[in-house]
Amino acid sequence: VQLQASGGGLVQAGGSLRLSCAASGRTFTMGWFRQAPGKERDFVSAISWSGSTYYAHSVKGRFTVPGDNANNMMSLQMNSLKPEDTAVYYCAARRARGTSDRPSDYDYWGQGTQVTVSS
């Protein structure tokens, strides 16, 4: 399975961006992670095959994963962006049905897309 992420860019604080991820094959759970320079890869959100969504505390209320991943596609709507949201965002997928916030639980990874939020 290959993942293709898109939609990153430069935005001012308070603005919005929408990321998209397309998987070439069937997956059950898809997730978003992000990694800032010099930091570990952190969980952002995940959506299960049934459409249940989960969010990191730092983005809850600002980020949403609309719809479901029935067509092996996933988006991340990011609102009220802050400079601390600046990172490379990765989409990921796993064959297992359960969601997880651990990068090691995901089987497939996209190439990453840069999100930069200016103050």
pLDDT of the residue at 69:
67
The rounded distance, in Å, linking the Cα atoms of 54 and 32 is: 10
- Look at residue 17 and tell me whether its pLDDT is greater than 80: yes
Q: Which tokens go with 91? A: 């989409």
Mean pLDDT estimate for the chain: 93
DSSP state string for 19-70: EEEEESS--SEEEEEEE-TTS--EEEEEE-TTS-EEE-TTTBTTEE--S-ST
Q: Tell me the pLDDT tens digit for each residue of 84-119.
A: 999 999 999 998 888 899 999 999 999 999 999 999
Give the rounded percent of residues in the chain with a pLDDT score beyond 70: 97
21 token code pair? 């991820």
